[in-house]
């Protein structure tokens, strides 16, 4: 065997001995962890998969996807402030979260109002001592109307609630997110921002604009250690779509377009949102992630 071949063989043997040594050490650590009662999960650095010590503001957190996001972030250890328009709904949720030992506060806010948005951010600033790690722009409304029948009042209401509020709250939150030195914004968009949907023209326009806002802020605010991402759910089983679930024709038509052949659950959206807020996703920036069971990529229709 040549000298060169012998050299590579020696290196291979040395590498194998080194890998075997590391493997033995790893196995011994896992064995000790098992004996200590630490379970059998992989040895993942806790800080990468925890939100302990972080603060979050979630709009529209009393029901549906918003409530699921509040609860998912709380399970990871975040302290959260949320809002909704109904004081009765909010109080009911706060009682639920207190029983679950979650650190959640709340206030009544109509995010379509610039003044109420400013008041909301003032409360978050006061509660969290001027620092905010996470902003979830979730609150949204929609009118089911043909485009020619949409009134100017409806148009303005959808725009101010869905798009204006998301942009304005991001502006207001910027100094708080920057002060935290590890900020994350997540917009809750929709597949309606990618697909043309009859009777949802204005709603879809707000979501399409939100997708682009995600990319723009991701570039502009990265220097301030603020990441910006977005999720775009498909049909999710929320109170908003619950009346449609009794319509067999609607269910059959919609699920036929989804490769997974079912609708999504709020907790499935919340899980992706939580990941985008975790340190483990620290290199994910400017992305719009569809959570739709494959609907938007399905060409087999």
Q: Active-site residues: which are they?
A: 203
CA 136 to chain centre: 7
Torsion-angle region of residue 297: left (phi > 0), alpha (psi -120 to 50) or beta?
alpha
Question: Measuring CA to CA, which residue among 274, 72, 272, 244 is closest to residue 142?
Answer: 244
The 3-state secondary structure of 51-113, one letter per residue: CCCCEEEEECCCCHHHHHHHHHHHHCCCEEEEEECCHHHHHHHHHHHHHCCCCEEEEECCCCC
Q: What is the DSSP string of 149-217?
A: G--HHHHHHHIIIIIIHHHHHHHHHHHHHHHHTSEEEEEE--GGGTS--TT-HHHHHHHHHHHHHHHHH
Question: Measuring CA to CA, which residue among 134, 133, 183, 192 is closest to residue 163?
Answer: 192
């Amino acid at each position: 065997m040549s000298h060169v071949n012998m050299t590579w063989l020696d290196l291979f043997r040395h590498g194998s001995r080194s890998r075997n040594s590391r493997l033995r050490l790893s196995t011994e650590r896992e064995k000790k962890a098992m004996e200590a009662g630490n379970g059998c999960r992989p040895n993942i650095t806790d800080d990468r998969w925890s939100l302990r010590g972080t603060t979050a503001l979630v709009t529209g957190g009393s029901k549906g996807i918003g409530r699921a996001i509040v609860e998912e972030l709380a399970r990871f250890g975040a302290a959260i402030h949320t809002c909704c328009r109904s004081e009765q709904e909010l109080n009911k949720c706060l009682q639920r979260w207190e029983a679950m030992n979650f650190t959640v506060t709340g206030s009544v806010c109509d995010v379509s109002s610039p003044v109420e948005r400013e008041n909301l951010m003032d409360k978050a600033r006061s509660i969290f001592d001027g620092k905010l790690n996470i902003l979830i722009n979730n609150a949204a409304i929609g009118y089911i109307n043909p485009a020619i029948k949409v009134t100017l009042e409806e148009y303005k209401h959808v725009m101010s609630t869905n798009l204006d509020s998301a942009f304005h709250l991001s502006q207001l939150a910027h100094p708080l997110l920057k002060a935290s030195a590890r900020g994350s914004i997540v917009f809750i968009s929709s597949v309606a921002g990618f697909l043309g949907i009859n009777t949802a023209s204005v709603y879809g326009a707000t979501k399409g604009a939100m997708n682009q806002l995600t990319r723009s802020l991701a570039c502009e605010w990265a220097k301030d250690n603020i990441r910006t991402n977005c999720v775009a759910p498909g049909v999710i089983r929320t109170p908003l779509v619950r009346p449609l679930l009794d319509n067999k024709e609607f269910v059959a038509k919609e699920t036929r377009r989804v490769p997974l052949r079912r609708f999504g659950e709020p907790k499935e959206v919340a899980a992706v949102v939580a990941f985008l807020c975790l340190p483990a996703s620290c290199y994910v920036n400017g992305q719009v992630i569809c959570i739709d069971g494959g609907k938007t990529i399905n060409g087999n229709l």
